[in-house]
Structure formats: C-alpha cells, structure tokens
Chain A
C-alpha cells in the first residue's frame, strides 16, 4: 500500500518536473551548452593523434559527466523554493520519500539526455572507437550516472536554502563521488586498452554496490534533510 503510494507520488513529481523542463528548457539548454564548451576546451588541450588519446579519454569523459551533471543537479530543487512549494510538498503525507525518488528520476533523465549529446561529440572529437565493448562502456556510464544522480539529488536538497550552494555543491559532492569516479575511469581505460569483461567485472560490481549503498543511505537521510530545509 505504502509502496504504491510512493510510486504514484514519485511519478506525479517526475511528470511535473519533465513538464516544467519542457516549458522552460532551463536545465537541458544550459547543460548541453556547457557540455559542448567543455568538449571544445578538452579537445584543444588534450587531443593527441594516435594511441596517446586513449590515455586521457577516460578521465575527460568522466570529468565532463561530473561537471555537466553538477550543473544539472544543482538546479533541481531551486524552483521548489522559489515560491515556497517545498513547504507545501512537506505537508503531504508520504511525500518526502516520493519527492526524493521523483527528483532522482528527473535528474537521471536530464543527465542521460545531455550525455546523449556529450558522449558522441567526445568520441568524434577524440577519434575514439569504442569497438565491440561499446555496450560495456555505456553500461558503466549508466551505472556511474545513476550513482552520481543518487548522491547529487540528496546534496542538492541539503543546500537548497544555502546562499553558497553553487560553491558548496561540488565541495561536498565530489569527495563522496571519488570511489565511483575511480571505478568508472578504470573501467573506461581497461575497455579502451582492449581488455574485456574479466578485467572490469570487479570494478563494475563495485560500482553497482556503491549505487545500492548510496541509494539506501539517501532514501533514509532525505526526510531529515527535508525537515531541516522546509
């Protein structure tokens, strides 16, 4: 019964965020533009012909995802406080967990959408061919993005009423993301070096475990975060 309520409310919050984004294009426009700029800067700074590219590409890929994702996630709770809607939501029974899940789903969709633009551009700019392991590449990016959105949604909510939120979001978020990023970069580097599933299995399992741990922790902590900021 409670699960059905949470799912229904989460879907309602997700639909509202998607409808709002469709009308304002506030998050996607800025994030995609920022991704393209990042790609251009990295291309000029790091492009080398031949195999040298493979050495820097994993780092560039994950840094681009993290920087652009920070921009997207940092905006996710702003419109909830602009006219006090966070307080109205806090008064609705069961809505605390639903708000977190709905926001997480919206953030995940926004991140996957800008990654759809970012990743092909990076591959083109650095002349990288993912080869037969492309599915493993995309799988690791998907798992990494889920972990990023899971943690980022909670930290973004924590900072929603803080005047220094733009500065504090990366300061608080990035240290928590380091294990996930290390795993992501290791997987991408291994796959680009021609290695396969046996070499990345451990790292991928570690990423999934981190996603699960972040998820449980964030769902448990969100109601306290909301109580503190409402």
Chain B
C-alpha cells in the first residue's frame, strides 16, 4: 500500500489577524501521521480559527503552513479531497435521508460503488435502521453520527473534528473513540477539538493548549498529570 499523503502538517509562526486583534499569534507545531492531536482552549482562544486554516477554508495572515511538502495555497487548490471535516454544523441536508446524504457526497467525490460504501458506513455508525428516514427526523446524536460518516466517507488523510461527541450518548461516544483509534492505526493525521476531557485523555497523543491565540502548551500529556490540571495550568 503506498504511503498516505500528507505525512505531516507543519505550522511555522502562523498568525491570523481579524481587524486589529490576533485570533492566532505565531503558532508553530507539527501534526504527525498516525497521531491524534487535541486542540484545547477557552472560548475565543483561536481553536476554530486554527481548524479552519487546517481545513484551508481560511488562510493565515502570516507564517507558513505545509501539508507534507505542499504549500498551503497549492493544497487548498488540489489537496482538499484529502480533508475530512466534522464542523460544529452538521453539514448534511435535513430533507434528504441518511443514505441519500452519503450517496450525494460520495458521488461528488467520485467514489465508485458508493451505494455499497454508504451502506457500510451507515452500519458502522449504527444508522442502518434509520437510513431511509429524512435527516430532519433524526435526533442530534443521530445527525452527529451521520456527520462523522460523511466526513470519513472519502477516506481522508487529514481528519479535523470540532466537538465530534456533541449530542452523542455513551454508545455514540464509544463509537467515536473506536473510530479515532482506527484512524490513528491507519496512519491518518487527526485533530480534535473537544470539551469531553475523558475522551481526550484516553485518546490524544498530543495536546495543544491555546490561550488568546497563543500556543501555551504543546506535546504529550506529562506523565502523572491529569488533563484537567494540565489544562488549568495553561489555558
């Protein structure tokens, strides 16, 4: 099997300015393949701005972002198919059924045998029984499961998750946890924003803590330290 691309995302002195204030200020880090990076911080710390830049829907005002060897601009033009994104919005159509949503996005990505793949994903996220119901009739948790399936349907290498456990019950959270573990094993780059500290604590290989746009902590959780105390010390 050929190596997945990109094998890392490197940020060097990345800043993002809105008006006169910095949403991000000189953030430098490397996100490696086969690792899960948690992005933590209080409201307004710059987490979503950083995730938007990684998704290439926003551009840095200053600094450099490289996806493997590919520069930001080129990746935004040609590499977006390698991004899977779970945003705080569901990014699915309420009027279509779960199956139709997955088929629609799969067809746009040009995935062959999409019906079969959609069926597999519906089963994987526990939505087989509700597959032919309009998404508007789904609970928040069911929509979130579908959102995760939509984001991973096209086999992305860079997986960006903004609060993926929102609305999920215990079984749903366990599902996300298992999926994230599988993604790591498959060598993908996973970035997750979550306030579910127990999920982060068990899964994250690296923890980035942002405060007022600045990176205050970066790296694995220090041994013997709980995530909550690490967070309180830096956020």
Contacts and interface: CB of A to CB of B under 8 A. Distances in A.
A85 B93 contact: yes
Contacts of B96: 16, 19-20
Interface stretch (A45-53, A90-98, A185-193): A90-98
Interface stretch (B77-85, B117-125, B198-206, B223-231): B77-85
Interface in A49-97: 79, 82-85, 87-93, 95
A156 interface: no
A171 B203 CA distance: 53
A83 to B, nearest CB: 5
Given A91-B80, A230-B57, A84 B100 contact: no
B37 interface: no
Q: How big is the B interface, by class?
A: 20 to 34
B108 A95 contact: yes
A9 B95 CA distance: 19
Contacts of A24: 95
A199 interface: no
Contacts of A85: 91-93
A93 B76 CA distance: 10
Interface residues of A, number: 25
Interface in B132-171: 134, 150
Contact of A89 (B100, B108, B134): B108
Nearest to A26: B95
A98 B134 CA distance: 25
Contacts of B94: 82-83
A101 to B, nearest CB: 13
Interface string A23-45: 11000000000000000000000
The interface residues of chain A, by DSSP majority, are classed as helix
B48 interface: no
Given A83-B91, A91-B85, A92-B81, A16 B104 contact: yes
A23 B108 contact: no
Contacts of A84: 87, 89-91
A8 interface: yes
Contacts of A90: 57, 80
Nearest to B88: A84
B110 interface: yes
A90 B108 CA distance: 11
Q: Count chain B CB atoms within 10 A of each CB in A8, A24, A82, A93 and give the residue with the most.
A: A93
B85 A16 contact: no
Interface string B12-53: 000000000000000000000000000000000000000000
Given A12-B108, A92-B109, A20 B89 contact: no
B105 interface: yes
Interface in B189-225: none
B55 interface: yes
Contacts of B89: 83-84, 87
A23 B95 contact: yes
Contacts of A19: 95-96, 100
Contact of A83 (B56, B85, B93): B93
Contacts of A12: 104, 107-108
Contact of A23 (B85, B87, B91, B134): B134
A5 interface: yes
B91 A88 contact: yes
B110 to A, nearest CB: 7
Contacts of B110: 5, 8
A93 B81 contact: yes
Nearest to B94: A83
A79 B81 contact: no
A89 B80 CA distance: 11
A95 B56 CA distance: 15
30 contacts: A9-B107, A9-B108, A20-B93, A20-B95, A23-B134, A24-B95, A83-B90, A83-B91, A83-B92, A83-B93, A83-B94, A84-B87, A84-B91, A85-B91, A87-B57, A87-B85, A87-B87, A87-B89, A87-B91, A88-B85, A88-B105, A88-B150, A90-B57, A91-B56, A91-B81, A92-B80, A92-B81, A92-B108, A93-B80, A98-B108
Given A20-B95, A83-B94, A88-B150, 6 more contacts: A8-B110, A23-B134, A84-B87, A88-B92, A90-B57, A230-B57
